[in-house]
Amino acid sequence: MNSTLKYKLQPIRVPSGWTITINNLFEVELTKETAEWFSSSVLLGGVRRSTGHCFDARVEPEGDPDGEFIIEFLTIKYDHKGLPVKNSEVFLGDFKTKNKEEFIEKIESYMLKT
């Protein structure tokens, strides 16, 4: 059985200390023909446990070729076992764009700065 995907995962530069927790972002532009590749509630998510910084990225409306790329930036607290503390999320802001390259640059920039 050949499990080769039509598209490769989107290259992204991840600095030390960050973990990509969700990766459903592929190296394809958002168009009517490729919208199904953008129909996940979270396309890319990452966390830096040492500081609690994290992000979730998606297209909204989900899978819509006319939608926007959205990144939500947050912090979250962890307990002494390294598990997330329930309801400790703090929303820091968001970023919206229709440009995929700008979307990726913003994610990479956020990870480098925090």
pLDDT digits (tens, 9 = 90+) for 36-56: 999 999 999 999 999 999 999
**13 in any annotated domain:** no
**14 in any annotated domain:** no
Question: Structural domain tally of the chain?
Answer: 1
pLDDT in tens, 51-93: 999 999 999 999 999 999 999 999 999 999 988 999 999 999 9
Domain boundaries, position 82: 19-113
Strand 90-97 vs strand 68-75: parallel, antiparallel, or unpaired?
Answer: antiparallel
**3 in any annotated domain:** no
Sign of the torsion angle spanned by Cα atoms 114, 75, 67, 14: positive
| DSSP per-residue letters across 85-98 | PTT--EEEEEEEES
